[in-house]
Amino acid sequence: MAAITTTRFPTSLHSNSKGISKNRATISSTFRIRCSNAQSPVTLTFTNEPQPVFSSVKAFAPATVANLGPGFDFLGCAVDGIGDTVSIRVDPNVHPGEISISEISPNISKLSKNPLWNCAGIAAIEAMKMLGIRSVGLSLSLYKGLPLGSGLGSSAASAAAAAVAVNELFGKRLTVDDLVLASLKSEEKVSGYHADNVAPSIMGGFVLISNYEPLELLRLKFPSEKELFFVLVTPEFEAPTKKMRAALPLEIGMPHHVWNCSQAGALVASVLNGDVVGLGKALSSDKIVEPRRAPLIPGMDAVKKAAIEAGAFGCTISGAGPTAVAITDDEQKGHLIAKQMIQAFHKEGNLKASANVKQLDRVGARLISSDHL
C-alpha cells in the first residue's frame, strides 16, 4: 500500500460517532507509521484500524415487513428466504478508505452506481467510517433479490447486507446498534429516518424500535417452537413511499389513538406469547394508517377480505405497500390464501400479482461466503 502521511485522523470520519454505542472498539484519533519491511514501501496503520480478515465476503439480508398494522413506524420483522445480497472485496484499484460499486445485478436503471447515492453504498461507507478504514479500498457488488418500492424493505435489505459485509470483512468489530445506525444513514436518504426495516433485516425476528436518541432496539422473541408464515402478495403497481406517507393524517383523535395503542400492545404480547391468532387479529386492527393507505392500492380492501375468508389470521399492508401481508401457521394454507389474494388483486384491483409464502427469519443479515486472504 502507498505511504500516507497525515498528522491527525480526519474528524470527518467521525461524523457519525455520536450515535455509536460505546462497547465497540474505540477508534483512536492517533496513528502510527509502521515499516513492515525495509524493502517494501512504508505502510501506514492507524491505531486500532482493523485490517481485512478476508479478501472478499458475501452477505445476505432478508426482506422485512414493517408496520405490521398498529406497529406503524416502530415495529418490523424479517422474512426468511428472500432478500438482497452484497459482495465486498478488497480492491487495490480503489483509493484507500473508499468504496466503488462494480456491479448491480439485475441491472436496474433506477439504482445509481455512485456509492453516495446507492443504499448499499451509503451503508457501506458508514460502516467503513465507523471502523475507521483508511488504508484499504473496497469494491461492492449488489444482487437485488427484492423488487424496488414493494413494501418489503428492499432498500433496507441492500443497506443491511452492505453494512454487515463490511463488518465481516474487517473482523466484526461493530455492534448490532452500529450496523443499524450505518444502515439508517442509507434509509434516511431514501425513505426517512426509520429503523423498522433495517433493524429486523439486521437482527432477524421481530424488532421494536423504542427510541432513536439514543437508539434503543427491543428484540421481541417469537417462541422457537411456534410456526409463523407470511403470505406476501405483491401487485404490479407502484406505491411510492412518499405518496403513501403523504396520505397519513396529521392529527389523530383520542379514541383511535387509544385503540391503536392497545392493539400495538396486543401485537407485542402476541409475538412474545407465540399467539399467531392474536397476532393476526392485532395486525388487522389498525384504524389509523391502513384506512388511509388501502384506498391508494387498487383492490387492497378486497385482498384483505379474501385473505381472511381463506383462513388467514390477519392481513394488512406490508410497509408502505403495495405488498399485502397475511399471516398463518401453516405453509399449505399459506399457498391457498395467496391464491385467493392474487385473484382478489386481479378481480378488484385489475392488477397482476405474485406471491411468496415465507417463514419468519430468526437470524437476520448474515455472512454467506468468504474468501481468505
Q: How far is the CB of 255 from a second copy (least distance, A)?
A: 9
What number of CA atoms fall less than 13 Å from residue 106's CA on the CB side? 5
Buried b (16+ CB within 10 A) or exposed e, 72-99: bebbbbbbbebbbbbbbbbbeebeebbb
> Looking at beta carbons only, is 82 or 248 nearer to a second copy?
248
In whole angstroms, give the CA distance from residue 115 to residue 119. 8
Q: How far is the CB of 281 from a second copy (least distance, A)?
A: 8
Q: How far is the CB of 159 from a second copy (least distance, A)?
A: 21
> Looking at beta carbons only, is 72 or 229 nearer to a second copy?
72
In whole angstroms, give the CA distance from residue 135 to residue 142. 23
> Looking at beta carbons only, is 147 or 278 nearer to a second copy?
278
User: Closest Cα to residue 175, out of 316, 19, 24?
Assistant: 24
> Looking at beta carbons only, is 53 or 218 nearer to a second copy?
218
CB 348 within 8 A of CB 303: yes
Contacts to a second copy by CB under 8 A: 70-75, 208-210, 218, 220, 248-254, 257-258, 260-269, 272-273, 278, 282, 288
> Which of 252-260's residues contact partners 24+ apart within 8 Å by CB, and which partners?
252/288, 256/287, 256/288, 257/288, 259/285, 259/287, 260/70, 260/72, 260/285, 260/286, 260/287, 260/288
> Looking at beta carbons only, is 225 or 251 nearer to a second copy?
251
Q: How far is the CB of 258 from a second copy (least distance, A)?
A: 5
Q: How far is the CB of 244 from a second copy (least distance, A)?
A: 14
Strand partners, 58: 87, 369
Q: How far is the CB of 119 from a second copy (least distance, A)?
A: 23
Q: How far is the CB of 207 from a second copy (least distance, A)?
A: 11
Buried b (16+ CB within 10 A) or exposed e, 275-294: bbebbbbbbbbbbbbbeebb
| Residue in the block written with cell 475507521 | 132
> Looking at beta carbons only, is 289 or 302 nearer to a second copy?
289
> Looking at beta carbons only, is 52 or 71 nearer to a second copy?
71
Q: How far is the CB of 231 from a second copy (least distance, A)?
A: 23
> Looking at beta carbons only, is 44 or 203 nearer to a second copy?
203
Buried b (16+ CB within 10 A) or exposed e, 247-266: beeeeeeeeeeebbeebbeb
**Measured CA distances, 174 to 76, 113, 183, 195, 200 (Å):** 22, 25, 12, 17, 17
> Looking at beta carbons only, is 269 or 367 nearer to a second copy?
269
CB 201 within 8 A of CB 62: yes
In whole angstroms, give the CA distance from residue 188 to residue 5. 34
Q: How far is the CB of 67 from a second copy (least distance, A)?
A: 10
